[in-house]
Amino acid sequence: MLFAGSDTQGVAEGKITVAYRRWAEPRVVAGRIYRTNAGRIEIESIKEVNPDLIADNDADLDRADRSNAKDVRRRLRGDESLPTFLIRFHLVEGPDPREELASSAELTLADLEELQEKLARLDEFGRQGPWTDQTLKLIQAHPGVRAADLAAQLERDTAGFKIDVRKLKNLGLTHSLEIGYELSPRGAAYLHSVS
């Protein structure tokens, strides 16, 4: 989930705890924690709402930092035929465990074996066959290169490539940059260990 403009700061400060999104289907699940451009948030609830029935005195407007119902409708993005969702959440304080994991370049034999098992499972269930080592090596060779350009080098669609890189990030092996990616210290240590 991404936030734009002043919403980013409002979420980061814990002042905004509600968002309205127009999606084909829910993209978040209640009870899960998500990383956003404003920090980590935990989803409290998500429900479909009719944007035409949002009232100006609705308490959620203030929590979303919207002046009135018309302001909510005006800021909704996407096709108007898509459902609108009301998402309640709160900011999660403290360090991101994935960031702590990614920053460690010390891999024990047990760490290495666990990573190899997890990457083998990702390779096994990948639609395009084994992809993890190839993707890690590509990111290592081309840090800061746009995802679309990296995907093209592998003859893959950009959306699928980004999803796969996110899986590597969840294992602490990559970092997202403003443009493209780079290996984390853990990712570099892993490639060094297996090369």
pLDDT at position 167 is 93
Q: How confident is the model at residue 133 (pLDDT cuts 50, 70, 90)?
A: very high
Residue pair 97/130 in contact by the 8 Å Cβ criterion: no
pLDDT at position 180 is 93
Q: What is the pLDDT of residues 139-175, one digit of tens each?
A: 999 999 999 999 999 999 999 999 999 899 989 999 8
Per-residue tokens: 129: 């066959």
What whole-number distance in Å separates Cα of residue 11 and Cα of residue 69? 20
- Structural domains in the chain, CATH included, are 6-91 (no CATH), 97-194 (1.10.10.10)
Alpha helix (H) ranges present in the chain?
Answer: 6-12, 59-63, 69-75, 97-102, 109-125, 132-141, 147-153, 158-170, 185-194
pLDDT at position 7 is 94
pLDDT at position 73 is 95
**SS3 state at 143:** coil
Residue pair 90/14 in contact by the 8 Å Cβ criterion: yes
Among 96, 108, 120, residue whose Cα is nearest residue 169: 96
Q: What is the pLDDT of residues 28-63, one digit of tens each?
A: 999 999 888 888 999 999 999 999 999 999 999 999
Q: How confident is the model at residue 2 (pLDDT cuts 50, 70, 90)?
A: confident
Q: How confident is the model at residue 118 (pLDDT cuts 50, 70, 90)?
A: very high
Per-residue tokens: 102: 């990614």
Q: What is the pLDDT of residues 75-112, one digit of tens each?
A: 999 899 999 999 999 999 877 777 778 888 889 999 99
Q: How confident is the model at residue 115 (pLDDT cuts 50, 70, 90)?
A: very high
What whole-number distance in Å separates Cα of residue 1 and Cα of residue 3? 7
pLDDT at position 168 is 95
pLDDT at position 93 is 86
Residue pair 54/69 in contact by the 8 Å Cβ criterion: yes
Residue 134 neighbours by CB distance under 10 Å? 14
Per-residue tokens: 134: 């190839």
